[in-house]
Structure 1
């Protein structure tokens, strides 16, 4: 005799009008008999585990609050010494508090799942990837049942302590925003460029004449009044350079599409633009001579230098600001004025 319980059954799928083979499920998949846990039998044991889990979540809440207190209470220059090892006390205490808080939330969730949630093994038939309305209703009902079996609504101590721990977990993220520094405000509206400031080579600090550039050449440049700041105030030097860096390029005048109002901003095909990408502020200088495109290496924003540096590709939202050029009495390139718009990345105060 042959056992035909597990033989394929031929059915009509009703949609494609063809016969498909549907395998019948195995009657016994081999699940071991369920063994109840101590918390399933003894209510006192279950209450004890509930208190343990709630204590973990509660301690996690205190640790997160402790990290916030440490941020303000411990000096930024304080040092903790552990034998030959040392580190910033502010960072170490905050990191330790938040790390332990995350560990306790995870450990509490595992303890909750292993000791209190329903752990009976089940088997179900494999079904098609798509779901019918009846299956969706069944899944919804199963979700509701699982929520009920987890005890999330019934075990209020665990629920409230978990909500509290997860709720305060976002507090350090808000407080630590202070370390990002002040909002840009109007700091990007002004650079040290001004009328008559010479354009100098960023490497040699030598002033640039039109004869120094050939068609197709791109030079990284800076304002002549930047170099003295390097010795006088190194911090101010770095801030000024980050905003005032420019690129100077020479293009055949016949290939330049000049924006109205900028007819006299170039000198015989020589144009000057901010070197700072208008997406998130990366420095750019990857230049393609044949297309006059300059590429930002961070996120591939591409600007057409022959067409007022308009964006031709990538996430940047606006063209590179252009610096109007002129010649001084000695024939060197100088700025007609500062930038007429903010340099650098776009930001919400810009309007």
Structure 2
């Protein structure tokens, strides 16, 4: 039995076996360029070279128009995104306010849909460009020793420009211009989105609604708190009594101002407490922000025997008898203390605002602390 496995390879010789598929062979009368960087093509197929060129040109013109249509769609979708963004306002009193749940859903669908369509159209246009406009042929380049010769370095510019011409970026102005047009609104999108960052907070995050003489009410009720309402070992969550009783406090205002009122014997305070911290108490009643300084969860658990305040989210633990210093967990700073006193009628009132900004540590990092 005769082995014909390499019969044709042996007839063609070693030169044919080493040739990269798709590149001209020596029999074609062409050889690799001296620079080793020039792509080589070989015409194959049922059409003549002239017919193939004509059909290729027609396909490229069709691809150019198709890609241009996709880029135009991307442009109008990008404009639709910008219009949708400015059509809906973050202001609560605006006609189309995104603070309204129904309007917010429409705004999200409009902005999300238009930006998605714009990005999809860009991708589709680039796909049409690559498949129908750019040439398709296999390229073989030999591996040469580094560094490249001066002749190879000199041919790079010509090779680069030829690649740009073959890609259609220079010879297809319709496609090029529509692509640039489509990128304009997409380029503006990140810039206008910076509007959502809003103005710098300034001193806004450092202060709350608490002010000297403001009475306290039990959280979730309108009942004002007398100093005699608290007994040793008791704890109450409290909020400031709103000036506008009809509208009450907003959710953000409640989150900023909610406090834990804790009563203990004055002798139970730690020697580490400063004189000012003790002055901010009244007859063993001390007030701390209820917002954990780790990530803002409510530190709502209190252990009477150890005077420990626990945040259930990540187990940050604070010592209420020692200025709410951190004794365990990921929090890095104590709970801010609210100075308290009583008014002429015996009701608990604030003696000022918190000793430090309330909330997570990363908020204070943004405040330059």
Q: Which TM bucket (shorter chain)?
A: 0.5 to 0.7
More strand by share: 1
SS at structure 2 position matched to 1:304: strand
Unaligned runs of 5+ in 2: 1-43, 46-51, 139-144, 146-159
| 8 Å Cα contact 2:235-2:302 kept in structure 1 | no
Q: Distance in 2 between matches of 1:331 and 1:279?
A: 35
Number of the residue aligned with 1:171 = 188
Which residue of the partner structure matches residue 294 of structure 1? 310
The change in CA–CA distance for 1:304 and 1:73 in structure 2 (over 3 A counts) is: closer
Q: Which residue of the partner structure matches residue 82 of structure 1?
A: none
Q: Offset at 1:178? A: 4.2
Displacement of 1:350: 5.5
Is 1:247–2:260 an aligned residue pair?
A: yes
**Structure 2 CA distance, aligned partners of 1:164 and 1:296?**
53
Shift in CA distance, 87/295, structure 1 to aligned 2, threshold 3 Å = closer
Q: Return closer, same or farther for 1:165/1:206 CA change in 2, 3 Å cut-off.
A: same
* 1:68-108 alpha-carbon deviations (Å, 9 max, x no partner): 234445786369xxxxx999876654444323212212323
Aligned to 1:101: 118
Coordinate RMSD, CA, aligned: 5.1
Question: In the alignment, what sits opposite 2:358?
Answer: 343
TM-score (norm 1): 0.60
Task: Kindly report which structure 2 residues correspond to 1:163-312, keeping only aligned pairs within 5 A, or say none.
Answer: 165=182, 168-169=185-186, 171-178=188-195, 183-204=200-221, 205-209=223-227, 212-215=230-233, 217-223=234-240, 225-226=241-242, 228-231=243-246, 233-234=247-248, 237-238=250-251, 240-250=253-263, 254=268, 256=270, 257-259=272-274, 261-267=276-282, 269-278=284-293, 282-287=296-301, 289=303, 290=306, 292-295=308-311, 297=313, 300=314, 302-306=316-320, 307-310=322-325, 312=328
The correspondence of residues 85-96 of structure 1 with structure 2, limited to 5 A, is: 93-96=110-113
Is the aligned partner of 1:49 residue 2:63?
yes
Equivalent position SS for 2:279: coil
Secondary structure at the counterpart of residue 221 of structure 1 = strand
Aligned to 2:154: none
Report if the CA contact (8 A) 2:59-2:132 is conserved: no
Greater CA radius of gyration, 1 or 2? 2
Return closer, same or farther for 1:338/1:73 CA change in 2, 3 Å cut-off: closer
Indicate how the Cα distance of structure 1 residues 288 and 164 shifts in structure 2: closer, same or farther if over 3 A, else same: farther
Alpha-carbon offset, residue 179 of structure 1: 5.3
Change (3 A) 1:317 1:88: same
1:117: how far off? 6.5
> How many correspondences in the alignment?
291
Secondary structure, aligned partner of 1:62 = helix
- Cα distance in 1 for partners of 2:111, 2:75 equals 13
Structure 1: how far apart are the matches of 2:104 and 2:356?
Answer: 43
Matches within 5 A, 1:95-174: 95-115=112-132, 154-156=167-169, 165=182, 168-169=185-186, 171-174=188-191
Partner Cα distance (1:152, 1:274) in 2: 64
> 1:265 and 1:60 mapped to 2: Cα distance?
62
**CA 1:93 to 1:328, structure 2 compared with 1: closer, same or farther past 3 Å?**
closer
Q: How far apart are residue 323 of structure 1 and its match?
A: 0.3
Deviations 1:121-168 (A, max 9, x none): 9xxxxxxxxxxxx9xxxxxxxxxxxxx8xx789442667765764564
Task: Provide the C-alpha distance between the structure 2 equivalents of 1:39 and 1:207, rounded to a whole number of angstroms.
Answer: 91
Is the alpha carbon distance of 1:108 and 1:249 closer, same or farther for their aligned partners in structure 2, counting shifts above 3 Å? farther
C-alpha deviation, 1:49, in angstroms: 1.7
